[in-house]
């Protein structure tokens, strides 16, 4: 088939929708968050990791029982690795039984399944259950804390240090709102089966029925987690997550003055996010964005796409104003391998790049035979001599 002329350089601009007719200056891109009565906080979209509001989110604070999110995360890691079973029984030590603070009320010398202990940690916020699991997995609280810190480092929680699995006071035990959001996002994405436990409102063990301390589970049907915390040093804290119409938000509120305050301030943050922002998926992973001519290959065209799903979080009403810019070289030459980076995708809103990703080939394009390659060479030679500038 005859070749068609190519551009000297190729930048395709795709407008995702018709402009609304209002200038960007008339609609502010940044929206002021509500007044949140907390020492620090953060609100982010769980899918895109876009921060929607924050205040001193890198300030180190005592995390109290929010620590147990990491404890539960590590338990699930052990289960997934095949080193721990949900029906495996754990011998309860004197140390676990004597641990103060909130309790599951396990008894020294008894054996309790990992499944029940995990519910005790997540739903009842049991310090005793947290210690029992830590000792069973690592041998001691100290060694388990080492595992917690290794996992924190792997997740990018660079401003956190754990000294125990419970969150009981320790001067060297700290985290930040931003780090706790990282951890919660990892929990939701990596361990969805365990995350379902965070929405359970009650758990009865040893004839003692205890409610989940996260009262937002009763107040807002879209809320399905995550964890409360309180010590005198930490104040009243809450990590919350909610999903509405496919959009999931995570809020972390640290250092409020009461149980009621942490619920109220968390709900204000979540409502602000859902009301003012939207998250949309533009391209599925591996979907074709466009097809481009290939020279010296067995195929005349190759599809180009992105490796991962492309989703963005933007202020409501702005999605249609996003422009997608796809830049690739003026000519692609075989051989090409599937997944080879050949260009770049940029999403632009109001003159600001809000997303960047590599553009890759979706198919292998082997090198063609000598005669076909010679034909392409002659075509390109004539184009360079007589083509448009």
Catalytic one among 65, 102, 251, 266?
A: 65
The question of whether 215 is a catalytic residue gets the answer no
Question: CA quadruple 205, 211, 214, 218: dihedral positive or negative?
Answer: positive
The number of C-alpha atoms within 13 Å of 305 and in the hemisphere containing its C-beta is 17
Catalytic one among 68, 119, 227, 268?
A: 68
The number of C-alpha atoms within 13 Å of 43 and in the hemisphere containing its C-beta is 24
Catalytic one among 40, 57, 93, 125?
A: 125
Distance CA 162, CA 233 (A): 15
DSSP state, residue 105: -
The question of whether 268 is a catalytic residue gets the answer no
The enclosing H or E element of 211 equals strand 208-211
Residue with tokens 């002021």: 32
Q: Are 93 and 108 in contact (CB under 8 A)?
A: yes
The question of whether 251 is a catalytic residue gets the answer no
The enclosing H or E element of 91 equals strand 89-91
Contacts of 248 (CB under 8 A, 6+ apart): 45, 46, 47, 188, 241, 242
**Catalytic residue numbers, as ranges:** 65, 68, 125
């Amino acid at each position: 088939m005859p070749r068609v002329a190519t551009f000297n350089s190729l930048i395709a601009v795709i407008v995702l929708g018709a402009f609304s007719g209002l200038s960007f200056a008339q609609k502010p891109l940044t929206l002021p968050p509500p007044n949140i009565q907390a020492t620090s906080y953060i609100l982010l979209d769980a899918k895109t990791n876009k921060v929607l509001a924050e205040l001193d989110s890198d300030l180190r604070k005592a995390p109290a029982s929010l620590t147990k999110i990491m404890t539960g995360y590590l338990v699930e890691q052990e289960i997934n690795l095949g080193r721990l079973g949900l029906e495996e029984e754990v011998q309860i030590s004197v140390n676990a039984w004597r641990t103060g603070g909130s309790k599951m009320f396990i008894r020294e010398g008894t054996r309790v399944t990992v499944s029940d202990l995990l519910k005790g940690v997540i739903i009842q916020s049991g310090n005793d259950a947290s210690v029992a699991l830590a000792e069973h997995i690592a041998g001691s609280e100290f060694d388990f804390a080492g595992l917690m810190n290794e996992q924190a480092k792997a997740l990018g929680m660079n401003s956190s240090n754990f000294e125990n699995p419970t969150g009981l006071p320790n001067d060297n035990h700290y985290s930040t709102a931003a780090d706790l959001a990282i951890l919660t996002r990892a929990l939701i994405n990596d361990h969805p089966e365990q995350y379902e436990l965070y929405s359970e409102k009650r758990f009865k063990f040893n004839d003692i029925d205890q409610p989940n301390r996260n009262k937002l589970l009763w107040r807002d049907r879209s809320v399905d987690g995550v964890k409360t915390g309180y010590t005198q040093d930490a104040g009243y804290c809450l990590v919350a997550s909610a999903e509405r119409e496919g959009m999931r938000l995570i809020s972390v509120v640290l250092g409020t003055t009461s149980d009621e305050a942490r619920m109220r301030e968390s709900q204000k943050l979540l409502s602000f996010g859902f009301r003012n922002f939207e998250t949309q998926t533009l391209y599925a992973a591996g979907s074709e964005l466009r097809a481009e001519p290939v020279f010296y290959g067995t195929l005349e065209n190759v599809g180009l796409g992105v490796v991962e799903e492309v989703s963005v979080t933007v202020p409501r009403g702005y999605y249609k104003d996003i422009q997608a810019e796809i830049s690739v070289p003026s000519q692609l030459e075989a051989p090409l391998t599937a997944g080879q980076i050949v260009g770049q995708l940029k999403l632009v809103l109001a003159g600001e790049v809000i997303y960047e990703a590599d553009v890759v080939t979706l198919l292998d394009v082997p090198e063609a035979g000598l005669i076909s390659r010679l034909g392409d060479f002659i075509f390109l030679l004539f184009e360079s001599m007589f083509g448009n500038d």
